[in-house]
Amino acid sequence: MRRLVALATTGHVGLLGGAFLFQLAGYAPCAMCLWQRWPHAVAIALGIAALAGLWPRAMAGLAALAALVTAGIGAFHAGVEQGWWPGPASCTGSGAGISGMSGGDLLSTDIPETLVMCDDIVWQFGLTMAGWNAVLSLALAILWIAAAARPQRASDL
């Protein structure tokens, strides 16, 4: 069990670290990209708790849930990027447009230069970043479930 927990926790560290490296390389995240990061952080914390011996099965089960949440957000985000379904109006090109903006908003120059819309694909290697997050997070969820279901041995304590 301990090895599976360590492997899954390391996987989340890798995915979250990779997201930050892409950001440092100039790929600014959209709002949904940021949403996908939080469950990774939760899974890492739960993995550390499990490795410390704090209810390892329960922590692995909760970490599996966190991995499934980020996989779900990633799959939804990938669908938004591909135009399969609409995304949140606050971060897609299908928003309210300029009709809800005041004159001051329209004339403002206080917009970030790296504003990224959730329906824009900024990087793709077969799948988009969101798609890869969905696939890899699903694999991590399977590891977490295997860890939670594995009988705990005396050597795991």
Two tokens at 87?
């995304």
CB 137 within 8 A of CB 57: no
CB 133 within 8 A of CB 15: yes
Written as one letter, the residue type at 150 is R
Written as one letter, the residue type at 31 is A
What integer pLDDT is reported at residue 138 of this predicted model?
98
The pTM of the full predicted model, rounded to 2 decimals, is 0.83
Handedness of CA 44, 65, 136, 53 (dihedral sign): positive
What integer pLDDT is reported at residue 156 of this predicted model?
55
What integer pLDDT is reported at residue 155 of this predicted model?
57
What integer pLDDT is reported at residue 114 of this predicted model?
56
What integer pLDDT is reported at residue 94 of this predicted model?
56
What integer pLDDT is reported at residue 104 of this predicted model?
64
- Give the closest residue to 79 by CA, choosing from 116, 35, 121: 121
Profile the chain (157 residues) by mean pLDDT over runs of 10 residues: 96 97 93 96 98 96 98 97 92 59 58 72 90 98 96 62
CA–CA distance, 64 with 98 (Å, rounded to integer): 41
CA–CA distance, 46 with 96 (Å, rounded to integer): 39
